[in-house]
A and B are shown apart, each in its own frame.
Chain A
Amino acid sequence: MMVPVDGFMYPNEVELAWSVLIVVYPYVTGLVAGAFILASLERIFHVTAVKPTYRLALLTALAFLLVAPMPLQLHLGHPERALEMYLTPNRGSAMAMFGFVYVWYLMAVLLLEIWLDFRREIVLLSQSTTGWKRLFYRALTLGSSNISEGALRVDDKVGWVITLIGIPSAFLLHGYVGFIFGSVKANPWWSTPLMPVVFIFSAMVSGIALVMLVYMAMMKIRRQPIDMPCLDTIARYLFYTFTIDFSLEMLDLIHRMYEADESFQSLDFMVHTRLWTSQVLIQIILGTAVPLALLALTQVARLGTAWRRLLYGVAGTLTLIGIFAMRWNVVIGGQLFSKSFLGYTSYKMAFATREGLLPSVGLMILPFFILWGLVKLLPPWTSVSDRTLEGQHGGAS
């Protein structure tokens, strides 16, 4: 208990219960939801321009979804008891119900949609490869090698339905995370009905920005030309979503300041002192205002391709940093002040221990390795042109 306390805190509050791992977790699930929404733009809403990123977005979502439970497992006092959440879930607990939302999203939405979309390639690869790869693809075919016109049409129809279900499922996935915080009446920094909505929109922002950056990076690595109409469209949707997200967060702020309830003075002081850098400088200015301004610039000014790419890259990177800061400010910020509204503590982040900075950084890098593996196993590029010819996905041929 060597943490310095300013003012008074209930003795058990001094040490933070939720560490940086619990910042990583909503960040990662948010990226999943956002990437999926971007994918569904093409599939459901016929925004054909973003089709080149459809498969990449799905694989990105999967890579991050697989990593999502890891910070939680590291954080649990007894990770070996984690199965209890599925054995005896408390239906009144948002955290327990989220376990099922996660499994639903993984199994019934994401894996299914990827399988249906890649099935043709999976079958072809199960016939053309050798060794363990052949076994892998054969297993994925579930023993069926039917890739006839009819079968693929069925896949397309079912895939469309899955994507349709997937959109509210993606909202549910990350909205639930927001609700896990937003429903805690004990904590006025968290307790607001806006929390799930803010989480969803900031998830969309981060997910779209991520896919945009991954797409740009991959095209560069593969020395392929970037589809500019695609990139411009993604950036436009990023701009719209970000505007909504920013408005929601400002609404929350203005509402708090205006109503000024019993917690306000304490929270206000916290933002001005302990959260100044992470909230005002990083999240609001660097992570929201600047990217919004850059994106707005690309929308109103007629800029060349190279300039646009540069601005998208900078805006996207700042966005990702800003959304991480937002998660930090919610999770850590919510624990820095006392529920007596009379004091503050500090967060002493560990470095190399289970809940420290090192594992957190590792967990944020891991999805990229997984994505690299996924892209190797299920190449997103091969059949875009083929599929266009065959008139898949709403018939943009």
Chain B
Amino acid sequence: MITRRKLLMLLPAAALAWEYVLAGTPESAPGYNRNQHWWGMLLDIDKCIGCGSCVRACANENDVPEGYFRTWVERYHVSDWRQEVPQVDSPNGGKNGFPPSEAQGGKNFFVPKMCNHCVDSPCTQVCPVGATFHTPDSVVLVDDTYCLGCRYCIQACPYGCRFLHPIRRTAQKCTLCYHRITRGLTTACCENCPTGARQLADLKNPNDPIHEFLKTHSVQVLKPHLATGAKAFYHDLDGSVR
């Protein structure tokens, strides 16, 4: 029988166990209930410095093959007179940062890109076999042992975030570091972003700062006209961003 005394003794032990669980290479965190989370990401353009830490971190955490990207950073140069046609570059996805700009004047900024984990994702709609899917906690994942490699999902993604793994020959993309967020960690890109430009958001968690942020800041998603239900929310995204 659990007495109050026993409970008081158990709690610090449990807390210690939890600390251990969160550190190093933890076991699957106990008590992660998929139905209690609804994941998204907040990307603050004002804070992104184009260092590429996120791209490198993602590649390290997820064994992303060279030349392919689960996340990448784009640099925009919007000239004063042609707002709608920006000059964009993303050398090696921004993985090694950016060389000095050749551009002069105008408006310049960085835009991190990733899978938007769309609620109405066109990619899961077209998968012929159910190898890519939308989880109960609203992350879009790929079942690597089930994917045929037909690449229909790659064609259907409006954001260019998918690729065919050259060796595994299956479709791959950002998993929102599902193996980390289900253990109470944040994603590799957010962990390594030095300025807080990337922040994981749990829309079902009432205490998550995203709720306050969404109420007090102007926020955009990419290609809203395609009604994908994108959950990568950008703060201060310029209208010229593609």
Contact = CB atoms under 8 A, between A and B. Distances in A.
Q: Do the two shown chains form a genuine complex with each other?
A: yes
Interface of A: 1, 8-13, 15, 17-18, 72, 75-79, 81-82, 84-85, 87-90, 92-96, 99, 180, 183-187, 334-335, 338-342
B129 to A, nearest CB: 4
Given A1-B67, A18-B151, A8 B90 contact: yes
B88 A93 contact: no
B129 A84 contact: yes
Contacts of A78: 147-149, 169-170
Given A77-B151, A84-B146, 10 more contacts: A10-B113, A12-B160, A78-B149, A84-B129, A88-B129, A94-B126, A99-B128, A184-B122, A184-B155, A186-B157
B52 interface: no
A253 to B, nearest CB: 22
B109 interface: no
A96 B67 CA distance: 30
A187 B147 contact: no
Give the interface SS of chain B, mostly helix, strand, loop or mixed: loop
Contacts of A340: 88, 160, 242
Interface residues of B, number: 45
A185 B226 contact: yes
Nearest to A92: B125
A77 B152 contact: no
B126 A184 contact: yes
Contacts of B162: 12
Contacts of B242: 339-342
B49 interface: no
A89 B127 CA distance: 9
A96 B129 CA distance: 7
Nearest to B158: A186
A90 B226 CA distance: 22
Interface in B160-193: 160-164, 168-170
A342 B149 contact: no
Given A76-B149, A77-B149, A342-B85, A186 B156 contact: yes
Given A8-B89, A12-B161, A84-B148, A93 B155 contact: no
Contacts, number: 123
Contacts of B149: 76-78
B130 interface: yes
8 contacts: A8-B74, A76-B148, A84-B129, A85-B148, A185-B122, A185-B226, A186-B158, A338-B160
B157 A11 contact: no
A81 B148 contact: yes
Nearest to A72: B150
Contacts of A339: 158-160, 242
Nearest to B242: A340
Given A11-B69, A90-B130, A186 B226 contact: yes
B38 interface: no
Contacts of A88: 129-130
B59 interface: no
Contacts of B89: 8
B15 to A, nearest CB: 43
Contacts of B163: 12, 15
A333 to B, nearest CB: 13
Nearest to A95: B128
A186 B155 contact: yes
